[in-house]
Amino acid sequence: MDNGWDTPRLREDMQLRLVEGGPIDYAYRTDKSVEHVTVANDASGVLGYLWASDEDDAAGWVERPAVLADASNSGGYWLRKLREAKALGLPPSQALAKLAESRPGGRIGGIVPGSRSRADSVAALEAEARKGWEPPTSPAPRRRGGR
């Protein structure tokens, strides 16, 4: 029986190929110590941390799991701003300084004045972000309607 699923399009080998011209970005990993700043908003408090390492030309975002929805939305904004700073040719530490001057506010949050600090690694910063949060021990309850 032909159910419509056996088509050449579904048998095609989908190989991903790296192409030139993608966005200019800082490296997103480092095992070195990092500078970081705290991002917070009035509704959720600390959303996460922007970090930078000039040694590895790396920068990124660590979100707090306790405020996941707001942290994810905020992270997207700040990662775009990091990408813009990289396109301007700024080293990661200068990008943090430039971003500290901006005040988007609202749910996106802003960089907490005076929060610039150092962490031994991104992993240490991630551990800091998880403080006060425990993963759920059971699945989330189902909503009415079976969704």
Q: Is residue 89 part of a domain?
A: yes
Q: Is residue 34 part of a domain?
A: yes
pLDDT at 13: 77
Does residue 97 have a pLDDT over 60? yes
Q: Is residue 99 part of a domain?
A: yes
DSSP string, 97-124: HHHHH---BGGGBEEPTT--EEES-HHH
pLDDT at 140: 61
Give me the number of domains the chain comprises.
1
pLDDT at 141: 63
Contact yes or no for 96/118 (Cβ under 8 A): no
Non-local CB neighbours of 143 within 8 Å, separated by 6+ positions: none
Does residue 145 have a pLDDT over 80? no
The residue among 20 and 137 whose pLDDT is bigger is 20
Does residue 41 have a pLDDT over 60? yes
Residue range of the domain that includes 35: 23-130
Q: Is residue 141 part of a domain?
A: no
